[in-house]
Amino acid sequence: MLKKRLVGVITVRDGWAVQSFGYRRYLPLGHPQFLAQNLDRWGADEILVLCIDRSRRSLGPDLQLLRCLGSLGLSTPLTYGGGIRTAADAAAVIQAGAERVCVDAVLRAAPGIVGEISALVGAQAVIGVLPLSCVAGELQWLDYLSGRSAPLAAADLMPFERHGASEALIVDWRNEGRPGGFDPDLVRQFPLHGVPLIAFGGVSEAGQVETLLGHECVAAVGIGNFLAYREHAVQKLRQRVAANSIRAAVFSGGD
């Protein structure tokens, strides 16, 4: 049986790993490579590095960071997001050390490029990022470059329907960094039922992880800040999550 995943998310801003709160407040954590090494050692199912300023500043993907991470010899799958504008960018990210890529700004600005990316690196390697909120039962998609939200329309989801992206990273941007804050309506209201979802933003508690993973459409949960607070956080979370849909803890570690 395919296991559901606990994804360790490292948010990077200006080259530094940060704790992110609601897409607007950031506290430094240190070098991203140290966090990546911890997540690798602690047995995360996947490591997701999100460089949140690359698209905003038109910098393209942070290949230097990726090469640095690639040189660490991580034995955990690595996904990268941030600044990917073209299929060539995505290929460069893969060659620099990532297994998968996240597309964010391009998903809105030029969704056709998502198809070009998947044709080159394989759709299984492409994740579409959707920062969402749920207002009066309606999903709103945040354009994080302008700071404005608009209702999520069927046309917005074409890259997923046409197999340009294999999974959707649903970010509860409003509750990001708030313990237990993830709004489950983002999952319940998501209109495409055949698209595997990664729920991220305010996911911290074992019971919350169990509930989210109990949704058939949720393939993974992304956990950011909350994995940075204690040693062996991933394994401890695994031990507390009463679900055989995830891998069992590989080893037990103390604080």
Partner 1 sequence: MNKITVGIVDYGIGNHSSVRQTLNALEMRCRISDEPAVLDACDVLLLPGVGAFRPAIDALRARSLDRYLHEQADRDRPLLGICLGMQLLAQASHEDGFTQGLGLVPGEVVSLEAPHWHIGWNVVRQVQMDPLFRGSHEQAFYFNHSYAYRGPIEFQVCRTTAGEDFISAIRKGRIVGVQFHPEKSQAAGRALLRELICGLRDA
User: Smallest distance, Å, CB 220 to partner 1?
Assistant: 7
User: Smallest distance, Å, CB 2 to partner 1?
Assistant: 5
User: Smallest distance, Å, CB 67 to partner 1?
Assistant: 7
Residue 49, strand partner residues: 10, 80
Give the nearer residue to partner 1 in terms of CB position, either 160 or 182: 160
User: Smallest distance, Å, CB 35 to partner 1?
Assistant: 17
Give the nearer residue to partner 1 in terms of CB position, either 29 or 96: 96
What does 148-190 look like in DSSP terms, one character per residue? EEEEPPGGGGHHHHTTS-SEEEEEETTTTTSTT---THHHHT-
- The two tokens of residue 159 are 């890259």
Looking at this protein, which amino acid is placed at residue 209?
V
Give the nearer residue to partner 1 in terms of CB position, either 109 or 119: 119
Contact residues toward partner 1 (CB under 8 A) are 1-5, 40, 43, 45-46, 67, 70-78, 91, 94-100, 118-125, 163, 166-167, 194, 196, 219-220, 247, 250
Give the nearer residue to partner 1 in terms of CB position, either 99 or 210: 99
Cα–Cα distance measured from residue 214 to residue 132, given in angstroms and rounded to the nearest whole number: 20
* CB-count burial class (<10 Å; 0-12, 13-18, 19+) for 37: middle
